[in-house]
Amino acid sequence: MAKYSMQKRIFALSLFFMLIPLVLFTTFNIFTSIRKVEDNYRSSLVFGMKKIGSVMETVFKDVDQASLFALVDPKINHFLQEQFQEETAYESSLEMGAVYNSLNYLKNTNQYIQSIQIEGVNGQGLSNGFFPKSITKEDWERAAQLRGQSLWDVDEEVVTLPRKKEKYIYQSRLLRDFGNTSKTVGVIKIYLNTDAFQELFTNEEADNTSYFIVDTSGEVQYTSIQKNGPDRLEEPIPYEQLISHQGGAFAIERNNSELYAAPYYINQNGWIVYSLSIPAAIQKQLRDSLIQLFVLAVLCFIFCFVIAGSISRRMCRPLENIIKHMKLLEKEQFSTRVEVHGNDEISLLARQFNKMAQKIQSLIEEVYLVNIRKKELELRALQAQVNPHFLYNTLDMIYWTAKVENAPETSDMINSLSNFFRQALSGEDGFTTVENEIEHLRYYVVLRQQSKKPFDFDLNVDHTLLSCRVIKSVLQPLVENAIIHGIRDIDDGKIQVDIFVSGDNIVYTIADNGQGIDVLDMNALLDRTEENNRGFGIKNINDRIQLMYGKEYGIYFENVTGGGAKVTVIQPRKEWSLHGEADDRG
């Protein structure tokens, strides 16, 4: 009871000292975050409009420079005031081409110019590009009133496509004789490429924002509605209000919604370009800030809870850890070890436990290795019971006897059996090459296919593996198991053997089309041998592979979809050395 009572008191104090500052910090941070988010949002709007406004001002200035260039161009001056009756058609076309090239030069050097028109007092006119309206008498009159100053205006509701009306911003001015500035020679009219404006605004990638250009009367002359941006206001922002906030940003109320406007004044003609934004970014940033504060509060609360529990359980946890590892040791997980920290009595107890576990593991591994070696010695003893030379000579004599008696099938079987034993009894270190394993298997298959129930046998091998070093006598016992336990009772039996590379490993697969296997039972046989020695062969193969290479290698069983079983053997890929080859040859 005292333990839990102390735990509660520590927990309550931790909550008090952590949550009080947290509440104060959260309250202060909410107010400062709101103010900071609004300031940052205004600054981002102003910065964006400064970039757009400076480009717009440069555009209007470049258009003005283009009209002034036409004013002083002698070819344009001559074209607009001279009569061409006395000139030949060829000379007229040359002069018109030179003027047209000048206009093209002005248009092509500025992407924001859509077309240029000129018309002279002599009635001559020329244009390039698409122009919504030709120069009219009204254009002459309005240009004359400004006495050579530039006029910026809009041609309204120009029909360019069926059911589509647009506005086109243009500049016009009188062109005077550069030799006699009191003499008017014509009018120039330059239309701006509003599509380029649209690209300028779109490149800003500002969602929830639209852009507007207004003239000195406050009338909106151009509109660019961006993604999720506000539509054109039914009650436009007064020109005077935009002027008073130029270079900054301010909030307005429309339809019970708050919008932010950021104007930029264009010195060239007194027009204003401004952005109008829905403050969704503010709402998102505030929401994100509140989420972050909430997460921080939760983390602080969890931290407090962890500290309270950690202190109260600090002395008990090391003992609980030792008990846990003792239970693992009881479940025969002999590799378990306690992580030791410090030099107190509990640490000493943990070290003694680790020494005991290490000793038990060493003894078990020693007994296991002794048993494996014992079985290998038993196998070698069985092999040594047969005199290889006597066996070879006897088989050779039977082979030639069958040849003399004209029994080719018998002689072939004797020859295959002789070669089979030569491969089986060669070598002393338990290793061979993939090529020798395949040859050993082929001799065995030849013998088995002489039975009353022949079967199909197919072997696929990666020839780059033929010289690799592998555990000896692996393929033949597994194929023998597949024949005896898999396809013995069927008429169309088939054995498929594949040898290939997978990563850094050599993989054998032996598949049959029999009735399949009990995978759990076969896996159990890898750990034990039954009283009638059932499973001794596959356990021996698996033990030899894992003894040489480790637990990650060995034999795996599975059933094949559609019928049959599949055995997979995995060994590391190792090239055969001269020393190993010499050992294998005996």
Could you tell me the CATH number of the domain that includes residue 508? 3.30.565.10
| CB 262, CB 46: distance < 8 Å | yes
* 553 has pLDDT over 50: yes
Q: Which residue has the tokens 């530039």?
A: 150
Residue 11, both tokens: 């927990």
Beta-carbon neighbour count of residue 101 at 10 Å? 12
In a domain? residue 365: yes
The pLDDT value recorded for residue 572 is 94
Report if residue 149 sits inside a domain. Answer: no
The verdict on 333 and 431 lying in the same domain is: no
Sequence-distant (≥ 6) Cβ neighbours of residue 210 within 8 angstroms: 223, 224, 225, 226, 229, 230, 231, 232, 275, 276, 277
pLDDT value of position 6: 40
Look at residue 466 in the predicted model and tell me its pLDDT: 92
Give the per-residue pLDDT at 145: 87
Examine residue 151 and state whether it is found in any structural domain, yes or no: no
Does 572 lie in the same domain as 508?
yes
- Residue 122's φ and ψ, nearest 5 degrees, are -85, 5
Please say if the pLDDT value at position 86 is more than 70.
no
Tokens read off for 212: 């507007």
Q: Identify the three-state secondary structure at position 22.
A: helix
Please answer whether residues 99 and 186 qualify as being in contact, where contact means their C-beta atoms are separated by less than 8 angstroms: no
Calculate what percentage of the chain has a pLDDT beyond 90.
10
Residue 369 is part of which domain span? 315-385
State the DSSP code for 235.
Answer: S
401/364: higher pLDDT: 364
Query: Which two three-digit tokens encode residue 317?
Result: 């946890």
Do 467 and 566 fall into the same domain? yes
Q: Let me know whether 436 and 581 are in one domain.
A: yes
Looking at the structure, do residues 538 and 460 belong to the same domain, yes or no? yes
Q: What is the DSSP secondary structure assignment for residue 493, as one 8-state letter?
A: -
Average pLDDT over residues 20-36: 75
Higher-confidence position of 264 and 330: 264
Distance CA 29, CA 278 (A): 24
Residue 199 lies in a domain: no
Q: Write down the residue that tokens 């010289």 correspond to.
A: 467
- Based on the fold, state whether residues 483 and 569 are members of the same structural domain: yes
427: left (phi over 0), alpha (psi -120 to 50) or beta: left
- As a whole number of angstroms, the distance between CA 339 and CA 318 comes to 9
Q: What's the average model confidence in pLDDT over 461-479? A: 91
* Domain boundary, last residue among 333, 357, 385: 385
Same domain, 378 and 442: no
Query: How much helix, strand and coil, in percent to the nearest 5, is found in the chain?
Result: 50, 20, 25
**Could you tell me which residue, 407 or 5, shows the higher pLDDT?**
407
The pLDDT, as a whole number, for residue 468 is 93
- Could you give the CA distance from residue 514 to residue 438 in angstroms, rounded to a whole number? 23
pLDDT of residue 458: 93
Top pLDDT among 424 and 297 is at 297
Residue finishing a domain among 364, 385, 406: 385
What integer pLDDT is reported at residue 586 of this predicted model? 32
In this structure, the answer to whether residues 343 and 479 fall within a common structural domain is no
Mean predicted confidence (pLDDT) in 240-249: 88
pLDDT grade for 387, boundaries at 50, 70 and 90: very low
Return the pLDDT at 495: 92
Q: How many domains does the chain have?
A: 2
The tokens describing 377, both together, are 């010695």
517-541: per-residue pLDDT in tens?
A: 988 988 888 887 776 777 778 888 8
In this predicted model, what pLDDT tens digit does every residue of 150-168 receive, in sequence order? 888 888 766 555 555 677 8
Is residue 545 included in any domain, yes or no?
yes
Which H, E and C letters describe 270-303, residue by residue? CCEEEEEECCHHHHHHHHHHHHHHHHHHHHHHHH
**Quick check: 411 pLDDT over 60?**
no
Residues 438 and 581 in one domain: yes
For residue 218, is pLDDT > 60? yes
Question: Rounded to whole angstroms, how far apart are CA atoms 21 and 33?
Answer: 18
Task: Check pLDDT > 80 for residue 97.
Answer: yes
Side chain identity at 270, as an amino acid letter?
G
Q: Is 368's pLDDT higher than 60?
A: yes
What token pair was written down for 470?
Answer: 């592998």
The proportion of the chain whose per-residue pLDDT surpasses 70, expressed as a percent, equals 77
Whether residue 309 is contained in a domain is answered as no
Query: Is 70 exceeded by the pLDDT of residue 384?
Result: no
**pLDDT at residue number 2:** 43
Domain boundary among 358, 385, 412: 385
**Hey, what amino acid is at 438?**
I
Lowest mean pLDDT among 274-278, 375-379, 451-455: 375-379
Residues 431 and 366 in one domain: no
Query: In this structure, are residues 57 and 265 in contact, taking their beta carbons and an 8 Å threshold?
Result: no
Mean pLDDT (the chain, rounded)? 78
Residue in 445, 423, 446 with CA at minimum distance from that of residue 434: 423
Same domain? For 381 and 328 the reply is yes
Q: Report whether pLDDT(460) > 70.
A: yes
Question: Tokens for 586?
Answer: 């005996």
Look at 447 and 358; give whichever has higher pLDDT: 358
On whether residue 294 sits in a domain, the answer given is no
CA pair distance 290, 446, nearest whole angstrom: 79
Distance separating alpha carbons of residues 370 and 364, to the nearest angstrom? 10
Q: Does the pLDDT of residue 254 top 60, yes or no?
A: yes
In a domain, 244, yes or no: no
Q: Predicted confidence band at 389 (pLDDT cuts at 50, 70, 90)?
A: very low
Residues 349 and 433 in one domain: no
What is the average pLDDT across 182-189?
Answer: 87
At residue 465, the pLDDT reads: 92
Residues 527, 531, 534, 540, CA torsion sign = positive
What pLDDT band is residue 417 in, cutting at 50, 70 and 90? low
